[in-house]
């Protein structure tokens, strides 16, 4: 795919203040993060809780304002748009799916209301065609027959069906970018694959650029084309997902992979024992690698200089002095 990236992020940084005026510190929730989302691709953003992955999604959704860095939407800097009209226009192109399909729908409104509202708000179709479009959208996400589903209330639907309604609502505005923040982690195991398959279909049929935020590497591998691995606010490894997962450069990616339960892997002997480490590495970080306290490969330089993302293999970059040293 050679088309221009609809969404590009450059040196995105978000700090949250901690403490009081006398003892002020900052959590570097997102620190110097750069990547782009391309049409028709799914980019997975993985990391443990507190790594800053949800903050990235929220920054892109314009729910937070970045401390520094820029978000470019089709080449225009949108990181500081404030006017309601501009924000609305941006949000009609960049939509978000949330983790909790139980909390993101209004319990006293029907499915029709949820899908119809964005159509009217953003004047997507003339009012005469709204009904028809609602049914079309429900069919797209696999909620059939749409006439029956449209009349239902959220409590009459299962978790998977609710998440499909949330996706139909997102599709209503014909977005170019969809930010999916842990969209399957609250769903039953047997229906998760259905949602992932739906994402794959939408990426192929509609050329949507997806950001798939998750802590589940296996599901990331199943749907995504590229992967970004975050640790303590920084991207520590990025590249095509098959390359990264089959031959990870960063020791943190290795650790994540080894932690996934895999009954077929007989590699117990090679497992990296996780060292005791502090996950608070993002609070007023000193110079040096933020992973060094947990890292089995750490050497002297790791506590002295912060490693940069270095492309050690074609398209695959890591932030590690040992496995991806700067030239």
Residue (24 or 155) nearer to another protein, CB: 155
How long a stretch of residues is the chain? 327
Q: Is 193 in the site for another protein (CB under 8 A)?
A: yes
Question: Which residue, 247, 233, 230, is CA-closest to 44?
Answer: 230
As measured in angstroms, the least distance from the Cβ of 269 to another protein is 14
Residue (49 or 270) nearer to another protein, CB: 49
Helix axes 159-172 and 111-121, enclosed angle (nearest 10) = 20
Question: Which residue, 227, 222, 260, 255, is CA-closest to 241?
Answer: 227
Residue (142 or 207) nearer to another protein, CB: 142
Residue (129 or 280) nearer to another protein, CB: 280
The site that binds another protein (CB under 8 A) totals a number of residues, namely: 36
As measured in angstroms, the least distance from the Cβ of 142 to another protein is 10
Residue (68 or 279) nearer to another protein, CB: 279
Residue (200 or 306) nearer to another protein, CB: 200
Residue (172 or 224) nearer to another protein, CB: 224
Pairing mode of beta strands 209-214, 177-181? parallel
**What tokens appear for 146 in the block?**
């749409």
Maximum distance among all Cα pairs of the chain, rounded to whole angstroms: 69
Within 239-298, which residues bind another protein (CB under 8 A)? 245-246, 255-265, 274, 279
* C-alpha pair distances (Å), 172 with each of 62, 114, 151, 276: 19, 10, 17, 47
As measured in angstroms, the least distance from the Cβ of 298 to another protein is 17
Residue (108 or 189) nearer to another protein, CB: 189
Which range binds another protein by CB under 8 A, 59-67, 109-117, 169-177, 183-191?
183-191
Task: Give CA–CA dist 133/100, Å, rounded.
Answer: 25
Q: Which residue has 């992020």 as its token pair?
A: 9
Pattern of binders to another protein over 123-162, x per CB under 8 A?
-----------------------------------xxxx-
Residue (91 or 290) nearer to another protein, CB: 290
As measured in angstroms, the least distance from the Cβ of 34 to another protein is 24
As measured in angstroms, the least distance from the Cβ of 140 to another protein is 17
Q: Is 234 in the site for another protein (CB under 8 A)?
A: no
Q: What strand order describes the sheet that includes 234-240? A: 94-97, 177-181, 209-214, 42-46, 226-231, 234-240, 316-318, 310-313
Whether 166 contacts 187, CB under 8 Å: no
Three-state secondary-structure class, residue 153 = coil
The single residue among 197, 303, 305, 315 that binds another protein, judged by CB under 8 A, is: 197
As measured in angstroms, the least distance from the Cβ of 262 to another protein is 6
Q: Is 18 in the site for another protein (CB under 8 A)?
A: no
Pattern of binders to another protein over 37-66, x per CB under 8 A?
-----------xx-----------------
* C-alpha pair distances (Å), 316 with each of 234, 249, 250: 16, 8, 10
* Cα three-residue angle 311-217-211, rounded to 5 degrees: 70
Which range binds another protein by CB under 8 A, 29-37, 96-104, 188-196, 310-318?
188-196
DSSP symbol at 211: E
Torsion of CA 21, 24, 27, 30, to 10 degrees: 70
Residues that bind another protein (CB under 8 A): 48-49, 158-161, 188-194, 196-197, 215, 217-219, 221-222, 245-246, 255-265, 274, 279
């Amino acid at each position: 795919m050679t088309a221009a990236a609809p969404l590009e992020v450059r040196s995105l940084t978000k700090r949250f203040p901690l403490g009081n005026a006398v003892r002020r510190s900052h959590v570097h929730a997102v620190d110097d993060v750069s990547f782009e989302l391309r049409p028709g691709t799914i980019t997975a953003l993985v990391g443990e809780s507190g790594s800053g992955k949800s903050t990235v999604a929220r920054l892109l959704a314009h729910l937070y304002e970045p401390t520094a860095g820029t978000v470019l939407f089709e080449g225009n800097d949108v990181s500081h748009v404030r006017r309601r009209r501009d924000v609305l226009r941006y949000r009609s192109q960049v939509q978000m799916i949330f983790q909790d399909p139980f909390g993101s729908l209004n319990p006293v409104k029907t499915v029709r209301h949820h899908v119809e509202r964005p159509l009217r708000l953003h004047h997507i179709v003339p009012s005469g065609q709204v009904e028809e479009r609602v049914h079309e959208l429900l069919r797209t996400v696999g909620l059939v027959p749409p006439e029956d589903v449209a009349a239902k209330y959220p409590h009459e639907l299962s978790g998977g069906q609710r998440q499909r309604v949330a996706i139909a609502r997102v599709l209503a505005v014909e977005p170019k970018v969809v930010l999916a923040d842990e969209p399957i982690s609250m769903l039953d195991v047997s229906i998760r694959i259905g949602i992932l398959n739906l994402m794959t279909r939408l990426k192929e049929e509609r050329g949507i650029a997806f950001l798939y935020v998750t802590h589940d590497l296996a599901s990331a591998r199943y749907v995504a084309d590229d992967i970004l691995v975050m640790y303590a606010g920084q991207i520590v490894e990025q590249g095509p997902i098959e390359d990264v997962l089959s031959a990870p450069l960063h020791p943190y990616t290795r650790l994540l992979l080894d932690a996934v339960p895999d009954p077929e892997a007989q590699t117990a002997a090679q497992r990296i024992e996780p060292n005791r480490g502090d996950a608070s590495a993002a609070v007023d970080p000193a110079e040096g690698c933020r992973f060094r306290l947990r890292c089995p490969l750490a050497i002297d330089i790791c506590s002295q200089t912060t490693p940069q993302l270095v492309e050690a293999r074609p398209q695959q970059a890591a932030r590690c002095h040992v496995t991806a040293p700067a030239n």
